[in-house]
Amino acid sequence: MNSLKLDERLERIEKLLIGNKRVLTFDEACDYTGLSKSYLYKLTAAAMVPHSKPNGKVLYFDKEKLDSWLLENQVKTKNEIEKEATSHILRKQKA
């Protein structure tokens, strides 16, 4: 049981350290995004995720760009859609 607590604490510390880094390695990017290594590799090979290869071999990821990429194509909530619809109707009525 002590070993489990220690492992959990180490995992939390590692996540905190990754959170403070700006540039992530491939493995860190997988941990950060929750994507599997094979899927992230496919995305980099297809140039669908922002990344850098300064030496032509090793992949690096800018955390801010990863965050932006992860948040692309956001789905609006029902509440946001209803507010936009109401606003649109009110604008049409004024015109």
Domains of the chain: 22-94 (1.10.10)
Query: Does pLDDT of 3 surpass 90?
Result: no
Q: Is the pTM above the cut of 0.75?
A: no
pLDDT in tens, 9-43: 887 777 777 777 899 999 999 988 999 999 999 99
- C-alpha span between 54 and 63 (Å, rounded): 16
